[in-house]
Amino acid sequence: MAALALVAALVLLAIQQTQPPTPLPASAPANVFSALRALEDLRTIAQRPHPTGSPDSARVREYILARFRALGLAAEIQTATTVRQEPHWPGPAAATVNNIVARLKGTQNTRALMLAAHYDSVAGGPGASDDGSGVVTLLETARALKAGSPLRNDVIFLVTDGEELGLLGAQAFVDESPAAREVGLAINFDARGACGPSMMFEASTANGWLIRQFGRAAPYPVASSMFYEVYRRMPNDTDATLFKRAGMPALNFAFAGCWWRYHTLRDDLANISLRSLQHDGVQALALARYFGNLDLRHPSQSGAIYFAVLHFLFSYPASAASPLLILSLALFAVVTAFGLKRQQLTWKGILAGFGGWLGAAMVSAAISQWFWILLEKARLVSSLPDGVAYNGDDYLLGFIALTVAIVCSFYAVLGQRVRISSLATGALAWWAVLAAITTFYARGASYLFVLPLLAGLVELGYAFLSRHPEAEAESVLVWTLPAIVGILLFGIVPYMVLLLLSNVGLLPTTLSMALLVGYLAPWVHVMTARRRWLLPSAALAAALAFIVVGMLAAGYSDSNPRADSLFYVLDSDSSQSLWASADAAPDAWTAQFFGSGQHPEHVPSPFDGLMPWGTFLGAPAPSVKVDPPSLQLTDDVSIGTERTLRFLITSPRHARVLWVEVRNAKVLGAAVNGKQAGTSAAPDQTNWGLVYTNVPERGFLLDLTVEGGANPEVRLVDQSDGLPPISDRPLPSRPHHLMPSPAVPFDSSTLVSRTFRHFEMHRHP
């Protein structure tokens, strides 16, 4: 029981080191960060969704600007048209963005420190966490800095617009703002959930000096170079991506627990974690004070591998990863050879340990996946369109416990036939394999395997050198050091995968847990020596308990609403109007729009050629009088084999978003308000697309260069927030147990399309 208690204590300690601090009240001293004070600003910012170009976006922007000025900072709006190529459609994204740039002057500036966040939300949610939390972190940090001693360096507070559109505000800042050339360090705050620790998950590449300074300054650091190895393989970016690309040293923070709130209507004040907000804030303030007084004209240094343990940050040069791997592999060979010589190891036993772990891990993963499929078929999983489930964490905790039960059962059986030293060596062989793989392909994560491997080998070698090697190999005391190193370093991995990915990370969670149990094979042997099935039975009971909790939590409610979608489409060319939905089938609410007892047809996407949508559910809708988007040819020049057309594109009804699709012509070049906008993505591609958000009232200019003699077809779709008013009946509102789908950016929108053909410039003499 002592061994079990020690392992449990280490696991709890590993999890505890990731917990954010307690929020401070509004009565806290003026020179410290208080989440409760920041919450007052968040009440105004996160009242309603405020996507770029909406009236609420202007409201939030003016509030933030006024707050900075009330604190005595010089603050201004940077307005720009910006264009970026996006991977989701065959052309660029563009917008008129309005960034907020405020400055707190230093006493003897070396280079400026920049704290950044974005104020735009998605159209389907109020953005309390993403990224209202980052904005109020900046505001409360600015207030606390003003209440303290002046800093040496200037501090720039950048609050960007258009981050949700593809980092367009950050692009405008790095391209056009003079302040961008003054930045010596950028620290970005974002969120991908509504709770959890504020993690430093990304740093600039040449980060040796930066990581050392961060370790000295940050309170409660939750940081790891492993986080970035995961992040860079995901289809996600933040504003820090562009800061780094512009050559700025950078640190990037975010909290990512409670992923099911991300980009939804429930990313609101009721669901944001004040502990997460406090963690953001204490780090922002501490780093601002520390770096605000350093000489930021530091030289770039080689990259570092780093990790936090018990709120201490450890780091070493990334160049040391290969020597550490060579050392661990050499030590593995030496210890194995010595164990074979002392007859404490057998090749058969090592292979049993190696293959036994693999078999146990595969069985665990397969059973967990099979069980998950059964739960989904039984409709006991409350999923959102992105695959994450409200009750996914309960099930995943059950699968973690089930993995422990299965792997422990394998070792309980094998331990009766094979020496534990051989089983442990076979399990460590997997750590050696993964150490080699990560060193070559994910160097920032290599410490997770190399350091526990070295600790295990040292202790195994000590056991073989003992006068009583068999007794030492089976002694729990001998394996205390490896357990501490393994659990505090690697034990956090299953928990962090659960926190960051929930049920979407089912496979990596079960496999990482199986890997940890295999590493602790000697402990399992000791704990099952007298009562072989006690530990597996206890883990199985815990698994069943968590799964039952998940079943009881299945279903949707006002606090955990189900997502659906509905929008209105008007084709002004044919005067056909439709209700449309991206859902697989109507629900009780959307069925009202598709007609009782009718099966809606599948209709082509209004974004065909612009976004990767197939077809939508569609049904006839009442016709409303809505002005379609407008296109005017203002210039037409042919030079050699190329033809350049200039269009003025407007939305007479002042829609917030306007989509442009060019068909039947290969686009050789394009420009939006004079900004280059790329070409057709593939050599044989004859369609090109653009999405413009926050369309100016006067419209925007689009220059298209096509092959000479080509006469392109241009299709416009403008998108306004809200469904159109229907004169004959009021539209039923969405019930509280439903919410707009986070996977459909045009839910609850009115889409109006118009196609233009046969362009010919009529020139008058």
pLDDT of residue 86: 66
Structure tokens at 444: 């920032």
- SS3 category, 12: helix
Structure tokens at 433: 């394999």
User: Can you tell me the distance from the alpha carbon of 450 to that of 624, in angstroms, rounded to the nearest whole number?
Assistant: 66
DSSP β-bridge partners for residue 619: 579
The CATH superfamily label for domain 18-309 reads Zn peptidases (3.40.630.10)
The answer to whether the Cα torsion of 382, 387, 390, 394 is positive or negative is: positive
- SS3 category, 572: coil
User: Can you tell me the distance from the alpha carbon of 52 to that of 317, in angstroms, rounded to the nearest whole number?
Assistant: 42
Contact 190, 98 (CB under 8 A): no
Contact 281, 141 (CB under 8 A): yes
DSSP 16-73: HTTPPPPPPPTTS-TTS--HHHHHHHHHHHTSS---TTSHHHHHHHHHHHHHHHHTT-
CA 301 distance to own-chain centroid: 27
| 28, 29, 32, 37: CA torsion to nearest 10 | 40
| 436, 440, 441, 444: CA torsion to nearest 10 | 90
pLDDT of residue 612: 57
C-alpha dist (Å) from residue 343 to 276, 359, 481, 521, 722: 53, 26, 24, 19, 76
| Burial degree of 508 (CB within 10 A; 0-12, 13-18, 19+) | middle
Q: Which residue has the tokens 């600039």?
A: 204
- SS3 category, 308: strand
DSSP state of 269: T
User: Can you tell me the distance from the alpha carbon of 730 to that of 740, in angstroms, rounded to the nearest whole number?
Assistant: 19
Give pLDDT tens digits for 279-332: 999 999 999 999 999 999 876 778 999 999 988 999 999 999 999 999 999 999
Contact 229, 303 (CB under 8 A): no
Compute φ and ψ for 236, nearest 5 degrees. Answer: -130, 145
pLDDT of residue 764: 42
The answer to whether the Cα torsion of 741, 743, 745, 749 is positive or negative is: negative
User: Can you tell me the distance from the alpha carbon of 657 to that of 659, in angstroms, rounded to the nearest whole number?
Assistant: 7
Contact 489, 312 (CB under 8 A): no
Structure tokens at 577: 């109007």
Question: How many CA atoms within 13 Å lie on the side-chain side of 598?
Answer: 14
**Helix or strand holding residue 444 (H, E):** none
| Burial degree of 359 (CB within 10 A; 0-12, 13-18, 19+) | middle
Q: What angle do CA 599, 603, 609 make, to 5 degrees?
A: 155
Q: What are the extents of the domains in the chain? A: 18-309, 321-552, 561-765
What are the strands, taking DSSP E only, across 238-290?
250-255
DSSP state of 130: I
- SS3 category, 431: helix
Compute φ and ψ for 25, nearest 5 degrees. Answer: -75, 170
Which long-range contacts link 476-484 to residues 24+ away (Cβ below 8 Å)?
476/2, 476/3, 476/6, 476/522, 476/523, 476/526, 478/522, 479/520, 479/522, 479/523, 480/6, 481/455, 482/452, 482/455, 482/456, 482/458, 482/519, 483/6, 483/7, 483/10, 483/520, 483/523, 484/10
Contact 43, 26 (CB under 8 A): no
Structure tokens at 617: 């559910």
Question: How many CA atoms within 13 Å lie on the side-chain side of 388?
Answer: 25
Q: Which of 294, 302, 315 has the alpha carbon at shortest distance from 200? A: 315
pLDDT of residue 6: 74
Structure tokens at 724: 């159109």
**The residue type at 683:** P
Contact 99, 158 (CB under 8 A): yes
- SS3 category, 756: strand
Q: Which residues contact 160 (CB under 8 A, 6 or more apart)?
A: 97, 99, 116, 117, 118, 119, 120, 169, 170, 173, 239
Q: Which residues contact 682 (CB under 8 A, 6 or more apart)?
A: none
C-alpha dist (Å) from residue 488 to 2, 32, 402: 18, 30, 21
**The residue type at 60:** V
Contact 179, 322 (CB under 8 A): no
- The string over 535-566, giving b where at least 16 C-beta atoms fall within 10 Å of a residue's C-beta and e elsewhere, is bbebbbebbeebbeebbebbeeeeebbbbbbb
Q: Which of 408, 336, 359, 332 has the alpha carbon at shortest distance from 3? A: 408
Q: Which residues of the chain have pLDDT under 50?
A: 472-473, 764-765
User: Can you tell me the distance from the alpha carbon of 307 to that of 301, in angstroms, rounded to the nearest whole number?
Assistant: 18
Query: Which spans in 607-755 are helix H?
Result: none
DSSP state of 734: P
User: Can you tell me the distance from the alpha carbon of 529 to that of 500, in angstroms, rounded to the nearest whole number?
Assistant: 36
Contact 361, 717 (CB under 8 A): no
Q: Which of 299, 281, 297 has the alpha carbon at shortest distance from 289? A: 281
